[in-house]
Amino acid sequence: MTSSNQRDSAGELFGDPNELANLDVDLKNPLANAATEMFSYPWVRGVLSPKERALILLCLDASASQLEPSRLPQRISDARAEGATDREIVTVLHLTSLMACHSMSVGGLILSDVLLERGETSASGALNAEQEEAVRRFEEDGPVPRTMSDRLRTVMMLDPEHFNSMQTYISKAYAATDVVSVRFAHLVCLAFDVAPTHLYEAGIRIHIKEALDHGATTSEILEVFQLASLRGWRSVAAGLNVLNSQAQASE
């Protein structure tokens, strides 16, 4: 492991050892050992490159569902230390912000269902000129040109203008292939979709397929899952920090 990887694999679990020095908790107990073995696995196996791993971790801590601003300075420093450029970092942050689209893709479907139940809209598939243009742009010019699903068609019909602006942003984020590969762009989006705080199944399926189609391996995808699972350890880490603070205050 590189020095930053060693810091991360242990630091992800126990933080700065100096902060826990006065805490009367045995961090060498079997439970802690089991946690260390499980959560440090991505660094032990090391399928993704150190730079890609650092950028995936940046994505996870910058994602809307689990944003931790206090951790971003270290994440960005780690990415730079592993060779990431500022353009790569910014591109990953833009890709990470695409989680916002799920507010429309999920909420829009529910809104459409409720309006249909109330008789305030119809299930007619007829499109007006603006909606037909939105379909054309999606199927021919989108980030992943493909037939628009019934799911997305329903969302688009609610507000074609916003749908077009959303697709334009998505397209431009994926178009930065001179900065990050299409394969890695899908791994980034897969990371926040599979995070325990999000678990967006439709997105997980799309990004697994696209990542595989663009050269990702099964092992690389599994490592993204494993990095995303680190969020589970934050329950223990946050509690240890509180215990540490209280232990120091009682001295």
Residue 34 confidence (pLDDT): 82
Mean pLDDT for 213-231 is 96
Mean pLDDT for 219-239 is 90
**143-164 confidence digits (pLDDT tens):** 667 788 888 888 999 999 999 9
Q: On the CB side of 63, how many CA atoms lie within 13 Å of its CA?
A: 28
DSSP H stretches of helix in 40-176: 41-45, 50-62, 72-81, 86-97, 101-117, 129-141, 150-158, 160-174
Identify the residue whose tokens are 């509690």. Answer: 239
Higher pLDDT, 186 or 8: 186
Domain span(s) for CATH 1.20.1290.10 in the chain: 3-84+181-249
The answer to whether residue 20 scores a pLDDT higher than 50 is no
Cα angle 54, 59, 61 (rounded to 5 degrees) comes to 95
As a whole number of Å, the end-to-end CA separation of the chain is 38
Distances (CA, A) of 124 to 108, 116, 121: 16, 11, 9
Compute the distance between CA of residue 5 and CA of residue 2 in angstroms, rounded to an integer. 5
Compute the distance between CA of residue 2 and CA of residue 125 in angstroms, rounded to an integer. 56
As assigned by CATH, the class of the 3-84+181-249 domain is mainly alpha
Residue 231 confidence (pLDDT): 87
pLDDT band, very low/low/confident/very high, at 14 (cuts 50, 70, 90)? low
Higher pLDDT, 34 or 219: 219
Q: Give the chain's radius of gyration (CA, Å).
A: 21
The answer to whether residue 59 scores a pLDDT higher than 90 is yes
Are 41 and 119 spatial neighbours (Cβ–Cβ below 8 Å)? no
Residue 184's CB is within 10 A of a number of other CB atoms, namely 26
Two tokens at 197? 């705080």
pLDDT band, very low/low/confident/very high, at 6 (cuts 50, 70, 90)? very low
DSSP H stretches of helix in 23-100: 30-39, 41-45, 50-62, 72-81, 86-97
Closest Cα to residue 162, out of 121, 130, 128, 198? 130
Would you give the distance in Å from CA 128 to the centre of its chain? Answer: 35
Residue 9 confidence (pLDDT): 55
Identify the residue whose tokens are 């809104």. Answer: 111
Q: SS3 for 250?
A: coil
